[in-house]
């Protein structure tokens, strides 16, 4: 699935007046044999796209819940190749898949080979939190050749000039980090976050999605009211691990109620 299909799906959802909801799951948590079923479940619930984490031994941007999920995945035998092979089984799915990884696994696989594997697996985009904007040229040309979106993250603490540059460069959507530090559930978000999201949305060429720390239906509604939608990670990972799929359905439904 190309980045154009990702763009088209988001455009269609927003044109209906709905907000975007992108759940994060860790590939291999619960076993790779559960991956495609979980993707199907999230699609049935109304997810807009899925951010799929590749398990990695040094996940510097991940909070405790996602780190633990990565450890479980690695212990179950999940590998990068195994994830690609599993995704290929259902590569004609309608649900866009966005891989969240770090540069180390990409380097080890080979940048060109990694991009080709993404195409073969039906992946639409990549999120690479430890790839600085100043060094992304090493990968952008190859991703463009293979029609894969590079989704940029922008930080709450970034200078305005950097925020504006990331707004111009990003593809697919702009991932607005709403907290300082790693991923994980948060209790509240300040007015500063609301102002930050409004600033990013002003003049943006792509949808702006808020992520990191979103953990309740109320937060989904509140943050979606200031941008185009949300990415929810730790709460979704925890719900799958605990077998509480009702909360996943409720959070996706909450995103529709925020319009």
Quick check: 167 and 146 in contact, CB under 8 A? no
Find tokens 């009702």 and name the residue.
246
pLDDT (tens digit, 0 to 9) for every residue of the chain, 259 residues total? 689 999 999 999 999 999 999 999 999 999 999 999 999 999 999 999 999 999 998 887 788 899 999 999 999 999 999 999 999 998 778 899 999 999 999 999 999 999 999 999 999 999 999 999 999 999 999 999 999 999 999 999 999 999 999 999 999 999 999 987 545 444 556 788 999 999 999 999 999 999 998 989 999 999 999 999 999 999 999 999 999 999 999 999 999 877 5
Angle at 124 between CA 64 and CA 150, to 5 degrees: 70
- Label the pairing between strands 50-53 and 97-100: parallel
Residue in 51, 171, 185, 228 annotated catalytic:
51
User: Is 3-151+228-257 a CATH 3.20.20.70 domain?
Assistant: yes
Q: Could you give the CA distance from residue 231 to residue 213 in angstroms, rounded to a whole number?
A: 9
- What residue spans define the domains of the chain? 3-151+228-257
Catalytic site residue 244?
no
Catalytic site residue 58?
no
Angle at 141 between CA 139 and CA 146, to 5 degrees: 95
Residue in 62, 171, 217, 228 annotated catalytic:
62
User: Which one-letter DSSP state was computed for residue 58?
Assistant: -
Report the pLDDT value the prediction gives residue 186, as an integer from 0 to 100.
47
Residues in the chain: 259
Report the DSSP beta bridge partners of residue 203: none
Q: Could you give the CA distance from residue 148 to residue 196 in angstroms, rounded to a whole number?
A: 27
Find tokens 């999940």 and name the residue.
78
């Amino acid at each position: 699935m190309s980045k154009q299909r990702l763009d088209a799906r988001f455009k269609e959802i927003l044109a209906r007046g709905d907000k975007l909801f992108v759940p994060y799951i860790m590939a291999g948590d619960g076993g790779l044999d559960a991956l495609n079923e979980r993707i199907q479940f999230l699609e049935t619930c109304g997810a807009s796209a899925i951010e799929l984490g590749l398990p990695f031994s040094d996940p510097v941007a991940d909070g405790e819940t996602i780190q633990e999920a990565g450890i479980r995945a690695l212990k179950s035998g999940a590998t990068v190749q195994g994830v690609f092979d599993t995704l290929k089984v259902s590569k004609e799915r309608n649900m866009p898949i966005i891989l969240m990884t770090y540069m180390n696994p990409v380097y080890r696989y080979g940048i060109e080979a990694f991009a080709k594997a993404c195409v073969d697996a039906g992946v639409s985009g990549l999120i690479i939190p430890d790839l600085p904007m100043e060094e992304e040229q090493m990968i952008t040309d190859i991703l463009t050749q293979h029609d894969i979106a590079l989704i940029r993250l922008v930080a709450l603490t970034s200078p305005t000039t950097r925020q504006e540059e990331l707004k111009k460069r990003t593809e697919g959507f702009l991932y607005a980090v709403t907290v300082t530090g790693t991923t994980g559930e948060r209790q509240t978000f300040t007015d500063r976050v609301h102002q930050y999201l409004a600033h990013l949305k002003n003049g943006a060429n792509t949808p702006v999605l808020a992520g990191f720390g979103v953990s309740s239906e109320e937060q989904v509604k509140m943050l979606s009211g200031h941008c185009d939608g949300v990415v929810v990670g730790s709460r979704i990972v925890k719900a799958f691990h605990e077998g509480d799929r009702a909360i996943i359905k409720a959070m996706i439904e909450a995103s529709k109620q925020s319009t």
